Amino acid sequence: MPTFNLFPARKGLPVLVFAAASLLVAPAFAANTDPNETLQPALSLEGNFLAAYVAGSTHDTAAATTFFREAIQEDPRNQELVERAFVAFLANGSMPEAYETAERLASRDGSNNLARFALAVRSLKAKKYADARAKLNVKGRGPDLTGTLLTAWAYAGAKDAKQALATVDKLKSERAFNQFREYHAALIADVTGNPAEAEKRFKAAYEGERNTLQVVDAYARFLAKRGRRDEALALYKSFDDAVPRHPAVRAAMAALKENKPLGPTVTTAQEGAAELLYGLGVVGNSQGDELTAIIYLRLGLDLDPKHALALVTLGDVYERLKQYDQANEIFTRVPKDAPVRTGADIAIGQNYELLGRSAEAESYLKSLMEKHPEDVEVVMALGNVQRSRKQFAEAAETYDKAIKLVGTPERGHWILFFYRGTSYERAKQWDKAEADLKKAMELVPDTLPQGKAQVFNYLAYSWVDRNENIDEAFKMLTRAVELAPRDGMIIDSLGWAYYRMGRYDDAVRELEKAVDLKAGDPVINDHLGDAYWKTGRKLEAKFQWNHAKDSNPEQEDLVKILKKIDNGLDETAAAEPTVTPAAAPAEETVPSATPPKEGGG
């Protein structure tokens, strides 16, 4: 399930430092991932602590909560244990336990910033605004993004609009905070009844980042509320051109065209603070800091439990952690009337497939198709599941149904042709595959460089694989690498093109780069083995083939690899390439029904 970025990630963004969050992180012990197993507490303090420690290493927040709960009952005066339990409770969304534990920590150690921060959020929720500000006011510390903007929302809740905006503007010296500052100043001004200031701030936020969903949506809603529907539609249309087919944008555009009202993004201080925490959670997620992201999102959802994008983002974090049951529990909480609810339902069905519950996955998605027979995304989701099962002919038929529903394709529909084309290619229907891949290449927008790189790669690799259009394929692969320079599969394709052209030294150079980026891939290791053999490095070639053999290749490829290990390459014929074009989505996962995203979309 995709995340919906509030603001582009900025390296080193100095958001609230969760020093205590590291207490959940442990060395990567093996963890039990059986979703059907019922967790049972250990019989000793040590056993519960160790079990919680292991669960923390994999961010299994539910298990960590279970074991820490037992541990602190046995040793309630152990400060380190209580700190670890607090983080686990917070990350798991066990908010009453988290707040109770935060009180214990704050009473013992007033310098525990995370505990004070959590208690400030609780005070905001209870509309105890002065208490929230007191907890956020840490002496000796300069203004930080999180504390400053939460303090501003506490002033807004207390109807002190002037002080709220003055507090926001304390961040003016930090350029990295510009978008957050202007966006939340706009929301605060709107909530406190200052439309002139709100418009000025919305415009500044929009000028700084035109492809940020929440800025566009909030600004457009502000304009629509004042009868400026054409301007609001223009904002949405510009976003839709850059980031096609976003459900929230399409729903808002449809409402405006039907002259239906659009409510404001934020109406209370609690919702405003939740919007801030959601945005910070997205930043943490985009920077790969899942635990920080989870904590921000949990706190935000405690303030606004129906924040649809926060729920979707939290579910996405759990998906990335391969905790699919936990992700589904979150996705079911997305409000039924939210534009992103259908996407959440699609994710639930796909997660059933990833959990090995294939019958449930198919039943869930088919039921969804019955409810939404004209929804292209739903039909595409079923095709994705079929493709993940290697039912390529069936997947192509399903994608065909989706394309027929589209009618005249727009740029955002490139992904449908790409998926149908890759399915045709795997089903050995190359003429149809080539036509679809060319159509995808025609449609994919320049604003999606990763998507463009994938289309270039698949088509060009297929040509190389078939010894066709080698020169054109080489140009396309070179361009794909420029667009995605850290994608090992695409670099592998370029290396294989060099191999097909007989430029074996160049092939070795590129394939070694690809192996460095994706060391465990059997295809890349097999290709590097072939290139080594052609350059006379036969011992290294057999080493790479053995590595490919041990990396779980497909059965038909394993036979070829074993033959090469025994006999080397047949010097009288070109080596057979292994498996499929390198751009093919990994078959052990269910592809997303949503095209790759660009930064900030």
- Cα–Cα dist 9/231, whole Å: 28
Residue type, 130: A
Give the containing element (helix H, strand E) for 379.
helix 376-388
Of 260-264, 266-270, 286-290, 580-584, the one with minimum mean pLDDT is: 580-584
Residue 562 has pLDDT above 50, yes or no: yes
Torsion of CA 165, 170, 176, 182, to 10 degrees: 10
Question: Confidence band (pLDDT; 50, 70, 90) for 135?
Answer: very high
In whole angstroms, give the CA distance from residue 5 to residue 448. 15
Flag whether pLDDT at 5 surpasses 90. no
Q: Which residue has the tokens 């050995």?
A: 428
Residue that wins the pLDDT comparison between 29 and 53: 53
Q: Is residue 341 over pLDDT 90?
A: yes
Q: Answer yes or no: is pLDDT of 133 > 60.
A: yes
- Percent of the chain scoring above 70 in pLDDT: 83
Model pLDDT for residues 381-422, shown as the tens digit of each residue: 999 999 989 999 999 999 999 999 998 998 889 999 999 999
Cβ proximity of 35 and 354 under 8 Å: no
pLDDT-based confidence at residue 23 (cuts at 50, 70, 90): very low
What is the average per-residue pLDDT within 362-387? 92
pLDDT digits (tens, 9 = 90+) for 421-473: 999 999 999 999 999 999 999 999 888 899 999 999 999 999 988 889 988 99
Q: What is the pLDDT of residue 143?
A: 65
pLDDT greater at residue 342 or residue 173: 342
pLDDT tens digits for 58-92? 667 777 777 777 667 766 777 778 888 888 889 99
What pLDDT shows up at residue 275? 97
Please give the backbone phi and psi of residue 321, each rounded to the nearest 5 degrees, phi first: -85, 5
Q: Report the pLDDT value the prediction gives residue 267, as an integer from 0 to 100.
A: 97
DSSP assignment, residue 173? Answer: G
Lowest mean pLDDT among 366-380, 422-436, 543-557, 565-579: 565-579
How many angstroms separate the CA atoms of 384 and 586, rounded?
11
Give the burial class of 111: count Cβ atoms within 10 A of its Cβ; 0-12 exposed, 13-18 middle, 19 or more buried. Answer: exposed
Residue 185: name the closest of 218, 227, 213 by CA: 218
Please report, for residues 331, 349, 434, the alpha-carbon distance to residue 585 in angstroms, rounded to integers and kept in the order given. 24, 18, 17
Amino acid present at 281? G
Cα–Cα dist 561/545, whole Å: 6
Sign of torsion, CA 68 72 75 79? Answer: positive
Please give the share of the chain, as a percent, with pLDDT higher than 90.
65
**What token pair was written down for 241?**
């051109």
Helix (H, G, I), strand (E, B) or coil at 389: coil
* Matching residue, tokens 């000025």: 200
Q: Which helix (H) or strand (E) holds 571?
A: none
Give pLDDT, residue 286.
Answer: 85
Task: Answer whether residue 99 shows pLDDT above 90.
Answer: yes
